[in-house]
C-alpha cells in the first residue's frame, strides 16, 4: 500500500491561502501570458464533480501538453499522480505532461518522472517563482491585521471574568447551603424520637398482656383519691450535701461510660 508522507516544510503564505480552483485560474493566466493557448477543463472552471485527471490543456507551435495540479500543502505527491497522467497522455496523444504541486513530491515520484519521457514536475518552490507577481498582488490585497484591543477593553474583560468567577463561587456556596439544609431536614426524624400516646382498642393484646416486669396498678379508693397530696419535709444541709455527692458520682460514672463506648466505637 502506497502511503503519502508529510511534507518536510509546511508553508503558510499567500499561496497556501489560495483555494484549489483559484490556483487553477492563476496557472491558466500564467500560461496564457507565456503564449500558450489554454483550455481550462479542470473542476475549477467547469464546476464538475470530476476533472478526468486533467486541469489544463496547453497548445503552442504543435505542442500539446497536459497539466495536472495538486494543491497539497500537508502531504507529498506520490508517484501515482505521475503514472496516472502518463496514461492520460498516451490516450490523448499529447506531446508532454506536467504535474504541479504547491507542496512537495516524494522521491519515488521524482524517479518515476525521470524514467518517463515528457513528464515534468513543478514543486512548491518553482510554482512560487512562476506565480510571483500574482502572489504579490494577492498579498497586497489582503486586509491589514486587526489592531489590538485597547487597554480599557482588556481591563473590562478581565473584570468581567473575575465577576463571573465570584458569581459562580456564590452560586456554589448557596447550592451547598441548600443541600445541607435539605439533608438536615430529611435526617431529622431519624435523630429525634417522638412519643405519641395512641388510643388502644378494647381487648387488644396490649391491654391483655402487660409488659414484663411491669408493676400492676391498683385502683385507688375514693378515700385515697380525695386525700390531699403528701408534702415531704425539706432536706437538711447534711442530706443536701450527701445528695450532691451522689449526683456528682453518678454523673462521673455516666461520663466514663460514654467515653468507653465512644472509644469502643472508634476501635
Task: Tell whether the model's pLDDT for residue 241 goes beyond 90.
Answer: no
Do the strands 56-60 and 63-70 form a parallel or antiparallel pair, or are they unpaired? antiparallel
Nearest CA to 26 out of 59, 71, 61, 60 is that of 71
Alpha-carbon torsion (180, 186, 192, 197), positive or negative: positive
pLDDT in tens, 118-129: 789 999 999 999
Q: For the chain, what are the domain ranges?
A: 20-138
Q: Give whichever of 66-70, 112-116, 118-122, 207-211 has the largest mean pLDDT.
A: 66-70
pLDDT at position 133 is: 87
CATH number, domain 20-138? 3.40.1350.10
| pTM listed for this prediction | 0.51
Alpha-carbon torsion (221, 225, 228, 231), positive or negative: positive
Alpha-carbon torsion (163, 168, 169, 175), positive or negative: positive
CA atoms in the 13 A half-sphere facing the CB of 108: 11
Sequence-separated (6 or more) residues with CB below 8 Å from residue 39: 56, 57, 58, 59
Record the cell numbers describing residue 110, joined without a space: 521524482
pLDDT at position 196 is: 53
pLDDT at position 98 is: 95
pLDDT at position 206 is: 47
Residue 68 vs residue 2, higher pLDDT: 68
Q: What is the distance between the alpha carbons of residues 109 and 215, in angstroms, rounded to a whole number?
A: 111
Instruction: Band the pLDDT of 1: cuts 50, 70, 90.
Output: very low
Q: What is the distance between the alpha carbons of residues 158 and 167, in angstroms, rounded to a whole number?
A: 14
pLDDT at position 262 is: 75
pLDDT in tens, 29-71: 999 999 999 999 987 665 555 557 899 999 999 999 999 999 9
Q: What is the distance between the alpha carbons of residues 20 and 72, in angstroms, rounded to a whole number?
A: 9
Nearest CA to 5 out of 84, 108, 98, 99 is that of 108
Amino acid at each position: 500500500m502506497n502511503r503519502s508522507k508529510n511534507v518536510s516544510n509546511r508553508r503558510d503564505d499567500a499561496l497556501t491561502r489560495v483555494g484549489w480552483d483559484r490556483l487553477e485560474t492563476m496557472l491558466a493566466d500564467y500560461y496564457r501570458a507565456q503564449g500558450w493557448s489554454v483550455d481550462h477543463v479542470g473542476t475549477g472552471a467547469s464546476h464538475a464533480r470530476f476533472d478526468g485527471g486533467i486541469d489544463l490543456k496547453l497548445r503552442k507551435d504543435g505542442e500539446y501538453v497536459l497539466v495536472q495540479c495538486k494543491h497539497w500543502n500537508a502531504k507529498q505527491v506520490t508517484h501515482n499522480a505521475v503514472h496516472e497522467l502518463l496514461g492520460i497522455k498516451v490516450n490523448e496523444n499529447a506531446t508532454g505532461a506536467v504535474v504541479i504541486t504547491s507542496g512537495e513530491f516524494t522521491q519515488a515520484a521524482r524517479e518515476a518522472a525521470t524514467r518517463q519521457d515528457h513528464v515534468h514536475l513543478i514543486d512548491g518552490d518553482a510554482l512560487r517563482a512562476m506565480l510571483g507577481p500574482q502572489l504579490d498582488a494577492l498579498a497586497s490585497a489582503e486586509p491589514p491585521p486587526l489592531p489590538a484591543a485597547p487597554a480599557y477593553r482588556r481591563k473590562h474583560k478581565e473584570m468581567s471574568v473575575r465577576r463571573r468567577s465570584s458569581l459562580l463561587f456564590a452560586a456554589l456556596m448557596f447550592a451547598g447551603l441548600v443541600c445541607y439544609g435539605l439533608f438536615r431536614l430529611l435526617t431529622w426524624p431519624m435523630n429525634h424520637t417522638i412519643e405519641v400516646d395512641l388510643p388502644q382498642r378494647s381487648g387488644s393484646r396490649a391491654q391483655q398482656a402487660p409488659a414484663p416486669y411491669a408493676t400492676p396498678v391498683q385502683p385507688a379508693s375514693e378515700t385515697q383519691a380525695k386525700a390531699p397530696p403528701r408534702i415531704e419535709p425539706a432536706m437538711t444541709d447534711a442530706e443536701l450535701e450527701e445528695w450532691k455527692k451522689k449526683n456528682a458520682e453518678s454523673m462521673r460514672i455516666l461520663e466514663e461510660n460514654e467515653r468507653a463506648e465512644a472509644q469502643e466505637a472508634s476501635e
